[in-house]
Amino acid sequence: MSVIGKAHTRTLLYRTCFEWNAALGWYLATFIMVGILSSSWLELSREARWVYLGVLAYSVLAGCKNMIAAIPILKAQARLFVTGMIFITPSELRLHNHVGKKKGRELISNDDNRETLLGYGFDWGPEHTNMSYQLMNMDSKRSQIVMPLPVRWYVQQHEAETRKMGGAAWIYNLGENALQRVRADNWYGHTLITGNVGSGKTTLLRLLSCGAIHCGNVVLAVDPKNDQDWRDAMKAECEALGIPFYSFHPSRPSTSVAIDPLRNYNRDTEIASRIAGIVSDPSKSDPFRDFSWYAIYRTTIFCRYVGERPTLVRLKNYLITQRAILFEKVLNRYYQLHLGAEWWDQIGDEVDELGEGDKLTGMVRYYEEQMMQQVPEIACDEVCAAFRHPYEHYQKMTTSLLPLMSNLTAAPLDVLLSPEYDTESGREIIDLKSLFDTGGVLHIAIDSLSDTQTAQKLVQLLVADAAGIAGSRYNTEGADHSLKNMRRVSLFFDEAHAALCEQLLSLLAQGRAAKLEMTIVTQTIPDLVSKATEAVADRVIGLCNNWITTRISDPTTQMKMAANFSKVDVEQRSVSLSQRTDTFDSVDKFAGGYSESLSTVEREGFPSNLLGDLPKLQCVARFADGRKMLLKIPVVVKEPGK
């Protein structure tokens, strides 16, 4: 049991370990008495022998008693200077997360009371705050802590590993560390993860995503860096548990699955909203975005009218180079429905005459003059309006849309995001709704470093697709397809500031009711501010019931995280020395004084500057159930021999 973890707030962490000195004294006395007895044992009387043996036994017992009291103090002192990494294998993680555990005869799954492993640590309280201020008042080498020789030797042996972890080793060792689990329903309220580069965010993501797989959740992981360890860890868990694993990687198109982001929608307006919402913020007025929305909406209903499935490639072609072809297809379909397959033989001459040799113009004029009043059709009305619209103005108003469509349809995304189901390419095609319904894990590597703009647009499109599916879950009716029976979905977004959009905020605000739980990762809060506004960044913090931060050097993020901890009364010791004498006074006129006072002052519950001193793989966490913890993140490694 850790002395520091149980210490009273006024415990002097740097006091000399008197118990160790006393134990050494008793053992030394025992050694001396054994030497004396060995040389004079035969000369002693029987009574004297018993007296010496009694004193010897008392010395041994006293030494053992003091040593037992000293060992926890020595361990506590050593832990203030030593830290390291914790490793865990996938099989051990499954055991901790109760994978395959049964309650009676039923397998435990999708249980709100289920717990998942998060790490090793303790609940942060006022006693730890007081001790942290004591240690911060020492010098940088903590020379006030007098360590015996064995402790100094132990610290020196682990010095290299401790320096590798960086930060202040004593922060994690202020409390009594134990394995910590988090109830599954805590994750329902979404999670924000912040921290410096290389401080352990991806390691934490690896642990959380494996925990979500163990809970039976569908997992969607968006990885801007294509972290191989994260991908391999999830893939290994899927193989061990018999869960489908899919990988989307534009830089490796030969092995990547294809995703159809426009497959699932309830209304034609949804497709327009998904794509136009990427052009600019839908919450702000933008006539160019609104015009682009209308152009996409028109093209979508045209495709549906002629029996073609809307895809990104098809929409792009019809928006840019094949507008006239699409118009002609729509009108041709209309005339076939109302005049028969041989409609050209019936009205071809009249159409030719109305168009003055141009077939499309004649078809438009014939519909407007002969058919619109008798048998109107919305798709044909929109064709006529689009045909009459000046093309120069159309090009100007879609200036921001066309580059977006080019980003999302450039090779190899033309094949990976606009798949055709009737081809024999052999590539597996998935869509998010089917994934959410049937289960599995999808890892999406977007290569944001090499192509930031395309990666950002791609993530926002997938977020919009997920938001649309969440909306359709609300509208599901029937006992067989009720929301209660649907799978929970865990979405992980690394470098989430690139995916920040109105749909992402909507998912954070309303996704819980659709059984979607999100984990978004960014380095600092100013990263979110730079992509939006400070109000939006604060909104993200407020919408995430859980906040975990590893080492963070940004002052803004430090202050916002520290604000989650209540103020604490910290004991403050004041010492005053005074003396007074004059040269003309006699010796007995000298005056001096010493006073010592103990008071309390209100300070931060967790000192914000300590967030910048955390070693690697350590974090501070605030959870939806109110717990505030200091944790060390275990590293998930491969099984031995693999």
Q: Which residues of the chain have pLDDT under 50?
A: 1-10, 102-108, 477, 479
Phi, psi of 170 (to 5 degrees): -70, -20
Per-residue model confidence (pLDDT) at position 3:
44
Q: Report the SS3 class of residue 335.
A: helix
Q: What distance in Å separates the CA atoms of residue 433 and residue 439, rounded to the nearest whole number?
A: 10
Alpha-helical runs (H) found in 113-215 = 126-136, 149-157, 159-165, 201-214
Residues in CB range of 169: below 8 A, 6 or more apart: 79, 80, 81, 82, 83, 162, 615
pTM over 0.75: yes
Residue 584, Cβ neighbours under 10 Å: how many?
A: 6
- Going by the DSSP 8-state scheme, the letter that residue 499 receives in this structure is G
CA angle 8, 569, 194 (to 5 degrees): 95
pLDDT digit string, tens, across residues 84-136: 999 999 999 999 988 765 444 444 455 657 889 999 999 999 989 888 888 88
Which amino acid belongs to residue 97? N
Rounded distance, CA 544 to CA 4, Å?
A: 33
Q: Which of 535-543's residues contact partners 24+ apart within 8 Å by CB, and which partners? A: 536/500, 536/505, 539/505, 540/192, 540/500, 540/505, 540/508, 541/192, 543/190, 543/505, 543/508, 543/509
- With beta carbons less than 8 A apart as the criterion, state whether 182 and 460 touch: no
Label the pairing between strands 568-580 and 591-603.
antiparallel
pLDDT, residue 107, reads 43
Q: What is the pLDDT of residue 119?
A: 94
Task: Identify how many contiguous H helices and E strands the chain contains and give both numbers.
Answer: 25, 19
What single-letter amino acid sits at 445?
A
| CA distances, 404 to each of 49, 70, 288, 445 (Å) | 98, 68, 13, 19
pLDDT of residue 102: 43
Domain coordinates in residue numbering, the chain = 3-79, 90-260+419-568+606-636, 268-409, 569-603
- The answer to whether residues 465 and 504 touch, using CB atoms and an 8 Å cutoff, is no
Rounded distance, CA 384 to CA 159, Å? Answer: 78
Q: Sign of dihedral through CA atoms 142, 145, 146, 147?
A: negative
From residue 571, alpha-carbon distances to 562, 603, 606 in Å are 19, 10, 15
pLDDT at 104: 40
Predicted pLDDT at 106: 43
pLDDT on residue 466: 92
Considering the domain delimited by 90-260+419-568+606-636, tell me its CATH architecture: 3-Layer(aba) Sandwich (3.40)
CA distance 436 to 254: 24
Nearest Cα residue to 487 out of 534, 439, 443: 439
Q: Which residues have CB under 8 Å from 105's CB, separation 6+?
A: none
